[in-house]
Amino acid sequence: MGYKLTLNIDDEVVAKAKVYASEQNISLSSIIESFLRAVTSNNTDDDFEEIKISPFVKSLSLKSGISADFDYKAELGDYYSEKYK
């Protein structure tokens, strides 16, 4: 039996990850579990360098340029207000 975990992840990252998972025909949980297995394995630093990280995963780790005081709820509200005028 698995462990249920709640994570706070940027909405855009989750949306891209869901598309990627769907295209690869795997679950998002499987992707996250595989990543956590890789980073927590008992490999030496040299072995860790050999782990292939896809461009998609690398793109998730890049800073988005969003300021720390960005109010995503307000932005989302504005978006929906405009969308459903």
The answer, as to whether pTM is greater than 0.85, is no
Overall number of domains in the chain: 1
Residue 65 lies in a domain: yes
Alpha carbons 75 and 63: distance in angstroms, whole number: 19
Residue 4 lies in a domain: no
Query: pLDDT tens for residues 25-69?
Result: 888 888 888 888 878 877 555 544 555 667 777 666 655 666 767
Residues 6+ apart with CB under 8 A from 60: 13, 16, 17
**Are the C-beta atoms of 24 and 38 separated by less than 8 Å?**
no
Residue 49 lies in a domain: yes
Residue 64: per-residue pLDDT: 60
pLDDT confidence tier of residue 73, bands split at 50, 70 and 90: confident
User: How many other C-beta atoms are found inside a 10 Å radius of the C-beta of residue 37?
Assistant: 9
- Counting Cα atoms < 13 Å in the Cβ hemisphere of 15 gives 3
Residue 34: per-residue pLDDT: 83
Angle at 36 between CA 17 and CA 23, to 5 degrees: 25
Which of residues 77 and 59 earns the better pLDDT score?
77
Residue 58 lies in a domain: yes
Residue 5 lies in a domain: no
Residue 1 lies in a domain: no
Residue 6 lies in a domain: no
Residue 44: per-residue pLDDT: 53
Residue 28: per-residue pLDDT: 87
- Domain coverage including residue 45: 11-83
Residue 3 lies in a domain: no
